[in-house]
Amino acid sequence: MSESSKSTETSAVPGGTGIERAWTLPSVAYYERETAQREKERIFARTWQIAARSSQLSHANDFVTTELLGEPLLLTRGEGGELRGFYNVCRHRAGPPAEGCGNRKVFRCGYHGWTYSPEGHLLHAPEMEGTENFRAQDFGLLPVRVSEWSGLVFVNLDDQAVPLEEALGELPSQAGKFNFGGMRLHERRDYVMECNWKTYIDNYLEGYHLPSVHPSLNRELDYNQYTTELYPRHSLQWSPIRGAENEKTVARRYRQEVSGGPAAEMRAEYYWIFPNWMLNCYPDNVSLNIVLPLDAERCVAIFEWYFAEEQLRSGIPAETVGFSDEIQVEDGRICETVQRNLRSCSYTRGRYSVKQETALFHFHSLYWALMEV
């Protein structure tokens, strides 16, 4: 079967119909380079993306440089505590106004020495005498929208996008009980996988694969009570945590060493926020996942684990990260296998499990709503 015939055969999209009659995304959407480029323009450039931690910008004149899908960014903290964001591109000949991170009152481009204030104003442009109609006020750094929530710094390249608070919807009140903003970062790991970013998100958005892919995690979660809830821009999957004998069991560890509470009150909550980040909330820790495309068939999943201050002095963080790493290796393996199989001439698209894949259908519907604009 040719690529063109596969594309034509799967032109239908899930939008406009219910999950009972819908088909999954066409397989070509997971490896076409043209699709990947449209996603950058229509999805990633129009949604709030996590760019830094607030702790990296905790003092006046702190700055961080980062990149979002090829766009270089500069984030700064003003004297009055205000957060600012700019494209980290000099307006002269595209040099870098800043590099790395630190604390600075003036940014000096490393190419030709143009200098900028923390507010993005051009302060000095050496050797520009004699250039007609040149005005410094016309060549300030171009701003990007920035906002904060629960210790995370977000950027949005779309000036018309809804405010972050509106985009998050009910999430802050739902996840607030875990006190994520009061926790401290323990460790970060980057997992590079040979699969499309959507392949990984699809896998995250259903517990359908737990018994087959994650036998150890399945022993800790109650699969029969696995529940999915849908919201305008995010979804929540949750399950009670079993009071298992397993020494890795989160509920047992938390019950004995921290809370003294009964296991029946413990549950794991997995929040996915459109399009590409997640909060995995347990009684004793929260992990943040950010999934970014590297190319059409390659992505990186950034994992950060957060704990309360008193937890960091125990052995719990190392044990938690080790168990989480085991689960991630299992997910990476199946996602890479699926990615290879998506190119098979035997597959074009599939159907949804009405019982187990409502969050997956929800993601695909939000995805098409932006891709069709």
pLDDT in tens, 60-116: 999 999 999 899 999 999 999 999 999 999 999 999 999 999 999 999 999 999 999
Are 28 and 198 within 8 A, CB to CB?
no
How many Cα atoms sit within 13 Å of 298 on the Cβ side?
Answer: 5
CA dihedral 183, 187, 193, 195 (to 10 degrees): 0
- Please state the φ and ψ torsions of residue 204, each to the nearest 5 degrees: -65, -35
Give the pLDDT score at 244: 42
Report pLDDT for 218.
57
Q: Which amino acid is at 12?
A: A
Q: Spell out, as residue ranges, where the chain has pLDDT lower than 70.
A: 1-16, 211-223, 243-265, 373
Per this entry, what is the length of the chain?
A: 373
Using DSSP bridges, classify how beta strands 152-156 and 184-193 pair: parallel, antiparallel or unpaired. Answer: unpaired
Digit-coded pLDDT (tens) for 130-179 = 999 999 999 999 999 999 999 999 999 999 999 999 999 999 999 999 99
Helix axis angle for 358-371 and 197-204, nearest 10°, is 150
- Looking at residue 257, its pLDDT comes to 39
pTM summary value: 0.88
